[in-house]
């Protein structure tokens, strides 16, 4: 993988979490499709892909829209501090990582606005700090979608561990990078291997970038698709 557009720096000892499509009824998750090497985005092409699997097995597209703004995100301080930083600093850099997406997206979509709160179970997006995440992951993120009374509810869930293994404690910079990548999943983006993108997750890459133009263009393409549109209706992108 090349680089993460938004904030994804290499963590040599672990992989970043995989994107997952979520059922509208909290069914088990299914991994999002990784873009094959021969299908990597070029020119104005982006890596939009269906991101939610419904209870009937259908894959659909979901994303935030102006009516969901400001998108409230609940994030508290972790119980375990990162290396070279406090728990307060960990929360601060996690918010900074998500703000990078906001800053990159707003020039094209001025309605995109985030609001951060502390420990609000009613917020549509929940960020949970974990002592350890099942598997070799430092983070996990997904978009969530429900259709209630004809209205689309869009939320998200993110988990981040400052101590993903018995021998590893993330630094402040690594926390920032992991959150930037996982928030891309919360926004509905999947992985794009070997792209100049925040959503490129190869652990072996030594250099990563923050949110790039490719990430922004992919998100913009995603929001052009009607919420809940079936994958077969939209077609491969």
Over the stretch 206-225, which tens digit does the pLDDT of each residue have? 455 679 999 999 999 999 99
Over the stretch 137-146, which tens digit does the pLDDT of each residue have? 889 999 999 9
Q: Is the pLDDT of residue 31 over 80?
A: no
Q: Is the pLDDT of residue 153 over 80?
A: yes
Residue 230 lies in a domain: yes
Mean pLDDT score across all residues of the chain: 80
Residue 176 lies in a domain: yes
Residue 164 lies in a domain: yes
How many domains does the chain contain in total?
1
Residue 85 lies in a domain: yes
Q: What is the pLDDT of residue 200?
A: 84
Residue 138 lies in a domain: yes
Residue 46 lies in a domain: no
**The domain spanning residue 146 has which CATH number?**
3.40.390
Residue 4 lies in a domain: no
Residue 69 lies in a domain: yes
Q: How far is CA 231 from CA 63, 129, 148, 157, in A?
A: 14, 32, 20, 22
Give the list of residues 6+ apart from residue 17 with CB closer than 8 angstroms, or none: 133, 135, 137, 138, 139, 140, 141, 159, 181, 182, 185
Mean pLDDT of 16-42: 34
Over the stretch 39-90, which tens digit does the pLDDT of each residue have? 444 456 799 999 999 999 999 999 999 999 999 999 999 999 999 999 999 9
Mean pLDDT of 165-175: 89
Range of the domain at 167: 20-26+52-197+211-234
Q: Is the pLDDT of residue 26 over 80?
A: no
Mean pLDDT of 128-154: 90
Mean pLDDT of 99-125: 97
Strand order from edge to edge, sheet including 71-75:
114-117, 71-75, 125-130, 151-161, 139-148
Q: What is the pLDDT of residue 150?
A: 83
Q: Is the pLDDT of residue 7 over 70?
A: no
């Amino acid at each position: 993988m090349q680089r993460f557009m938004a904030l994804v720096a290499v963590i040599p000892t672990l992989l970043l979490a995989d994107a997952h499509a979520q059922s509208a009824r909290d069914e088990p998750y299914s991994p999002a499709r990784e873009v094959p090497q021969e299908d990597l985005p070029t020119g104005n092409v982006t890596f939009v892909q269906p991101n939610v699997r419904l209870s009937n097995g259908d894959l659909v597209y979901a994303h935030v829209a102006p009516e969901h703004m400001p998108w409230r995100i609940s994030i508290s301080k972790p119980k375990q501090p990162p290396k070279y930083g406090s728990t307060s600093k960990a929360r601060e850099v996690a918010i900074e990582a998500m703000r990078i997406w906001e800053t990159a997206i707003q020039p094209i979509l001025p309605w995109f606005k985030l609001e951060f709160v502390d420990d609000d179970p009613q917020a549509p997006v929940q960020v949970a700090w974990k002592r350890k995440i099942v598997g070799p992951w430092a983070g996990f993120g997904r978009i969530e979608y429900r259709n209630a009374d004809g209205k689309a509810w869009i939320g998200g869930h993110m988990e981040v561990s400052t101590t993903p293994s018995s021998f590893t404690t993330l630094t402040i910079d690594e926390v920032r990078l992991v959150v930037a990548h996982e928030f891309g999943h919360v926004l509905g983006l999947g992985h794009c291997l070997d792209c100049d993108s925040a959503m490129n997750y190869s652990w072996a890459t030594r250099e990563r970038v923050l949110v790039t133009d490719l990430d922004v263009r992919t998100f913009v393409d995603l929001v052009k698709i009607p919420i809940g549109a079936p994958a077969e209706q939209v077609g491969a992108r």
